Amino acid sequence: MEISGRKYLYDVVYGALRQEILEGKIECGMLLPSEREISLRFNVERATVRKALQLLVDDKLVEKKPGVGTKVTFKKRVETLSTSTEHKRVIGFFMSDDSQSGLSITQPFYAELFYQLEQECKKKDYQLIYVSISEETDIIELLNSQDFCSVIFVSLVDSGLIEQAKLSKIPMIIINNAFDGVVSISYDNVSGAYQMMKYLYHMGHRDIAIISASEKYYSTKEKLEGCYRAAKELGLKLKKNNIVYSEHWDYQNGYSCTRDLLMERDKKDYPTAIFAFNDFMAIGVIQALKDLSLRVPEDISVAGFDNIEMLKYMERDLTTMDADIGLLARMLINDNIQQLIKAPESGMQIITPVKLVKGSTVKKIEWRTAITKAI
């Protein structure tokens, strides 16, 4: 996957602020929140915020006032902008974005997916709009607020919202989840986890730990299926206490789960490899191991899943599964897919392929015999 030149985090901040300005949520003459407030809101560095603000300045939507702040100046510009986009086909990107779901547009995978979708939309003259939703969202009112030609729902979405959205007859597709009568698309979680387990086994690992977000996530269930399938085929026994779940798919939970996994054990009982079900968690795993004075991969090997752009800034190349986020974005905007979701009764599931990326975080070892208690 070609990933050079992507700076998706500031694009996400820029896109969210730009939309709020154009929708009139931040009116002409008002000051934007401070850099500190914006950085806390989006959980990004101030340098990222400054880049996003500069894009707004370049768009002539705001101007920076030394000693005052960043002031919205878009009033005369808004008519030109609305005229240029009013005939564009609008696609909604609907995502739960709250503490209960643990999902956020600022998470690396979703930030990169949104960026890639935005680039594909520009090529086909679509306008992509990000919308944060929750169980309390009036989905019918929301769908009527824009002339949506289709809607993309992301991952963990309340089933009641999906059922209501069906009534609108607006074509829709869901990513990394499945509902009756809704076309879905996801990468091949089952095959990806299966391939990773077989690779770790091939590298000599028999005592493998798994760190994942909750089983309420569709992708967690699929990846577990792949792990169990590989384990059964290989005659590999998985320890019940080697599978650790957290609420969220993030760095902090990868970190804390690793400490929980290891803190009460003797070193001789440590797993030889940890398979984190996404890369962001895997980065947390690696940091936790470092803080416990354990080396990767000399002491414990680590593998992830997704192949997010952030990996290119790591000291070591993470062994992971490339989900090809760019391909996923292209598929979502593909004309044939857009036609397919207009007749979704079949509830067709579209699966995109994944590919093993062999990094330097998995070490080949001699198998050490261990008595394990199978699940």
For position 14, which CATH number holds?
1.10.10.10
Q: Are residues 164 and 75 in the same domain?
A: no
Q: Are residues 46 and 118 in the same domain?
A: no
Q: Are residues 68 and 106 in the same domain?
A: no
Tokens of 96: 């739960």
Q: Are residues 181 and 207 in the same domain?
A: no
Mean pLDDT of the chain: 85
Q: Are 248 and 102 in contact (CB under 8 A)?
A: yes
Provide the CA 317 distance to its chain's centre, in angstroms: 20
Q: Are residues 102 and 20 in the same domain?
A: no
Question: Distance from first CA to last CA of the chain, Å, rounded?
Answer: 37
Domain count along the chain: 3
- In this prediction, residues 251-265 reach a mean pLDDT of 94
Pairing of strands 208-213, 172-175: unpaired
Lowest-confidence segment of 59-63, 185-189, 262-266 by average pLDDT:
59-63
**Residue 339 domain-assigned?**
no
> Cβ neighbours of residue 129 under 8 Å, at least 6 residues apart?
19, 90, 91, 92, 93, 146
- In this prediction, residues 328-351 reach a mean pLDDT of 79
**Residue 239 domain-assigned?**
yes
Q: Are residues 161 and 194 in the same domain?
A: no
**Residue 358 domain-assigned?**
no
Q: Are residues 239 and 150 in the same domain?
A: no
Pairing of strands 355-357, 126-133: unpaired
Between 66 and 303, the more confident residue is 303
Which 8-state DSSP code applies to residue 12? H
**Residue 207 domain-assigned?**
yes
Last residue of a domain, one of 58, 81, 104: 81
- pLDDT at position 189 over 80: yes
Last residue of a domain, one of 295, 323, 351: 323
Lowest-confidence segment of 15-29, 63-77, 283-297, 323-337 by average pLDDT:
63-77
SS (H, E, C) the chain: CCCCCCCHHHHHHHHHHHHHHHCCCCCCCCECCCHHHHHHHHCCCHHHHHHHHHHHHHCCCEEEECCCEEEECCCCHHHHHHHHHCCCEEEEEEEECCCCCCCCCCCHHHHHHHHHHHHHHHHCCEEEEEEEECCCCCHHHHHHCCCEEEEEEECCCCHHHHHHHHHCCCCEEEECCCCCCCEEEEECHHHHHHHHHHHHHHCCCCCEEEEEECCCCHHHHHHHHHHHHHHHHHCCCCEHHHEEEECCCCHHHHHHHHHHHHCCCCHHHCCCEEEECCHHHHHHHHHHHHHCCCCCCCCCEEECCECCHHHHHCCCCCEEEECCHHHHHHHHHCHHHHHHCCCHHHCCEEEECCEEECCCCCCCCCCCCCCCCEC
- In this prediction, residues 256-271 reach a mean pLDDT of 94
**Residue 331 domain-assigned?**
no
Q: Could you read off the pLDDT of 37-96 as tens digits, one per residue?
A: 888 887 788 888 998 899 899 888 899 887 678 988 876 333 333 334 445 689 999 988
Q: Are residues 306 and 194 in the same domain?
A: yes
- In this prediction, residues 142-147 reach a mean pLDDT of 86
**Residue 342 domain-assigned?**
no
ω into residue 297 within 30 of 0, thus cis?
Answer: yes
Q: Are residues 182 and 65 in the same domain?
A: no
**Residue 46 domain-assigned?**
yes
- pLDDT at position 6 over 90: no
**Residue 273 domain-assigned?**
yes
Task: State which residues form the domain around 62.
Answer: 8-81
Q: Are residues 304 and 233 in the same domain?
A: yes
State the Cα–Cα distance between residues 349 and 274, nearest whole angstrom.
Answer: 30
Which helix (H) or strand (E) element contains residue 302? strand 301-303
- pLDDT at position 244 over 90: yes
For residue 335, list its beta bridge partners.
none
Q: Could you read off the pLDDT of 305-321 as tens digits, one per residue?
A: 999 988 988 888 999 99
Q: Which of 76-90, 160-174, 288-302, 360-374 has the highest mean pLDDT?
A: 288-302
pLDDT attached to residue 242? 96
Q: Are residues 303 and 195 in the same domain?
A: yes
For position 121, which CATH number holds?
3.40.50.2300
- pLDDT at position 18 over 90: no
Q: Could you read off the pLDDT of 148-186 as tens digits, one per residue?
A: 999 999 988 888 888 889 888 889 999 988 888 888 999
Between 69 and 193, the more confident residue is 193
- pLDDT at position 192 over 90: yes
- In this prediction, residues 98-122 reach a mean pLDDT of 78
- pLDDT at position 20 over 90: no
pLDDT attached to residue 367? 65
Last residue of a domain, one of 21, 55, 81: 81
pLDDT attached to residue 44? 81
Amino acid, single-letter form, for residue 362: V
Q: Are residues 30 and 132 in the same domain?
A: no
CA distances in angstroms from 285 to 150, 242, 252, 313, listed in the order given:
38, 14, 9, 16
pLDDT attached to residue 8? 55
- pLDDT at position 222 over 90: yes
Q: Residues of the chain with pLDDT > 90: what percent?
A: 44
